[in-house]
Amino acid sequence: MGKKHIIQTNQEELLKEKEKVDDTLKKETKVKSTTERISEGKIYVSSSYNNTLITLTSARGQVLAWKSAGSVGFKGAKKATSFAASRVAEGISNICKKMGIEKISVLIKGVGAGRESAVRTLVAQGLNVISIKDVTPIPHNGCRPKKIRRV
């Protein structure tokens, strides 16, 4: 068997992550015209078989921040795991706390392994989850069938 790959974050990576969060905060303050802080937001969790994407938006739908399993540091098949999704949710919850967002509503889309663990991590991080909604697209009649083969 090969070596086990463990993700280790050193101080430089943590500083870069903190700078990214601060940059998003600065951009958000430029976008807002009023001086009030955002207290409510929406979190979109898109979980596929290959990756987990989490997007933080304001109540009006303006994107404030986003994270994916790839941007957190996972590569290949490890991006599709529930552990990767929980790490992504941790990163988004840290950004929520820095921005002062208290109430969130979660919208889940997709069929991947990270659906449950992402929501559980958001709740465990101390965010006040108002609602959880599944917005996975469902085909209601499917595609048109092939024409009948004539021999």
The answer to whether residue 116 is domain-embedded is yes
CATH code for position 95: 3.30.420.80
The answer to whether residue 51 is domain-embedded is yes
Per-residue burial over 26-46, b if 16 or more Cβ lie within 10 Å, else e, is eebeeeeeeeeebeebbbbbb
The answer to whether residue 59 is domain-embedded is yes
- How many folded domains does the chain comprise? 1
pTM of the model: 0.72
Range of the structural domain that residue 45 is part of: 38-134
Q: Where are the beta strands (DSSP E) in the chain?
A: 40-47, 52-58, 63-68, 103-110, 128-134
The answer to whether residue 106 is domain-embedded is yes
The answer to whether residue 49 is domain-embedded is yes
Structure-derived torsion over alpha carbons of residues 28, 19, 7, 56, reported in degrees to the nearest 10: 0
Phi, psi of 36 (to 5 degrees): -75, 145
Q: Over its length of 151 residues, how does the chain's per-residue pLDDT go in tens digits?
A: 566 666 666 777 777 877 877 776 676 555 554 435 788 999 999 999 999 999 999 999 999 999 999 999 999 999 999 999 999 999 999 999 999 998 999 999 999 888 999 999 999 999 999 999 999 998 888 888 899 999 8
Strands 52-58 and 63-68: antiparallel
Residues with Cβ within 8 Å of residue 43, at least 6 apart in sequence: 54, 55, 56, 57, 92, 96, 104, 105, 106, 107, 122
The answer to whether residue 61 is domain-embedded is yes
The answer to whether residue 95 is domain-embedded is yes
The answer to whether residue 27 is domain-embedded is no
